[in-house]
Structure 1
Amino acid sequence: MEKVLLLHSSCEGQTIKILNHIEQNLGEQYQCDYADIHLKPKIDFSGYDRVLIGASVRYGHLNKKLYQFIDSNRENLEQTKVAFFCVNLTARKEGKDTPATSAYVKKFLLKSPWHPKMIAVFAGALRYPRYNFFDRTMIKLIMKLTGGETDTSKEVEYTDWQKVSNFSQQFRTL
């Protein structure tokens, strides 16, 4: 049985939901542990066969704790089978939903000293009713500017679960 570490930097929980889906797709021959990057976990990478990092974008940026984690663990990340995925609402649009076309992945690769061997981009979820007034107002403005959903009574999940399942299968062969 392979041991897999599923690390996350999540704002609203969609990144964790995607990791749960990946764990389900990996099946019983993989034992998965989760860790929140925001809690600055101390990890013994030698105890894992592969690692997956999922991070969400909020207001145009990945969380600075993701970069701090990478800086603190770069050597281990470079010596381990590691994949990375980015979750954002821009990826709901065709042409902005691949690592090569995602502005956030491009920015990540410029900013990060570590470059994962395998990268994916997934569309996130819009959860208006769960947001506080400020976030709801700002996200509605951003969505209006980008042609997205502006009805603040709605929750919309843009994640393409088949794309996540395909990524899960690729992750097995990393």
Structure 2
Amino acid sequence: MKILIVYATIEGQTHKIAETMAASLEKRGHVVALTNSAEAHEFGLERPEAVILAAPVHAGRYPTPFVDFVHREQDWLNGLVSAFVSVTLSIQSEHEDERALAQKYPEALMAETGWKPDMVHHAAGALRYTQYDFFKRWIMREIARKEGARPYDGNDVEFTDWTALEGFLDRFLAMASTAATKV
């Protein structure tokens, strides 16, 4: 199967998630093209049979270039088997209201753009302390402390559940294969 993965990234975790999905799909024998939504004007894959989009949430929104891409390509996206990976630390929050809010971010994107992915997967991101300036590092440490995350030790902390991501890919491939046999 030919699969296109389009992602947006801010601090690098969504890019890492997209690369991991691409590598996993390629190991399973699929042809995969990976592209950043900010540069996705031409695809390196002719007529993909399925597409996975991935983007992080920062300050309650997905990156503008990503939203613009989805809005611009929503007709094309709706014509393919598609899935969305929403990346936010809030999805693994100890607070139920924050997890509930994180689950609504994709709904807001769909309402804004008209895209209707067949599947949505929520993935936790990472705290990239080594990339933050003093002020952001301090804010993120305070947020992590309130969430009960391990104390800041100067290193980045990754929260992505890679096993759950593999399970999502299993379900996506099963769905895409079923859709392909119906055509």
Superposed pair shares fold, TM > 0.5: yes
State the Cα distance separating 1:77 from its structure 2 match: 0.5
Write the distance in 1 (CA, Å) between the matches of 2:6 and 2:117: 14
Structure 1 residue 172 corresponds to structure 2 residue 173: yes
Whole-angstrom distance in 2 between the partners of 1:75 and 1:45: 18
- Report the identity percentage: 25
Output the TM-score relative to the length of structure 2: 0.80
| Per-residue Cα deviation, 1:88-127 (whole angstroms, up to 9, x for no partner) | 1112236579899614234333433212111110011111
The residue identity in structure 1 corresponding to 2:125 is G
Report how far residue 42 of structure 1 moved. Answer: 3.2
The residue aligned with 2:66 is 66
Compute the TM-score of the two structures, normalised by the length of structure 1.
Answer: 0.84
Quick check: which one's helix share is greater? 2
Partners of 2:78 and 2:44 in 1: CA distance: 14
* Greater fraction of residues in strand: 1
Distance 2:100 2:82 in 1: 16
Kindly provide the amino acid, as one letter, of the partner of residue 29 in structure 1: G
Q: Which structure 2 residues correspond to residues 102-121 of structure 1 after superposition, within 5 A?
A: 102-121=103-122
- 2:3 is matched with 4
**Cα displacement string for residues 12-40 of structure 1 (whole angstroms, at most 9, x for unaligned residues):** 11112112222233224211111111224
- Structure 1 portions without partners, runs of 5+: none
Alignment partner, residue 55 of structure 2: 55
What is the total number of aligned residue pairs between the two structures?
173
Q: Which runs of 5+ in 2 are unaligned?
A: 177-183
Which residue of 1 is the match for residue 179 of structure 2? none
Corresponding residue SS for 2:76 = helix
Q: Is the 8 A contact 1:99 1:106 kept in 2?
A: no
Measured after TM superposition, the shift of residue 166 of structure 1 is: 0.1
Question: What CA RMSD, in Å, does the superposition of the two structures yield over aligned residues?
Answer: 2.7
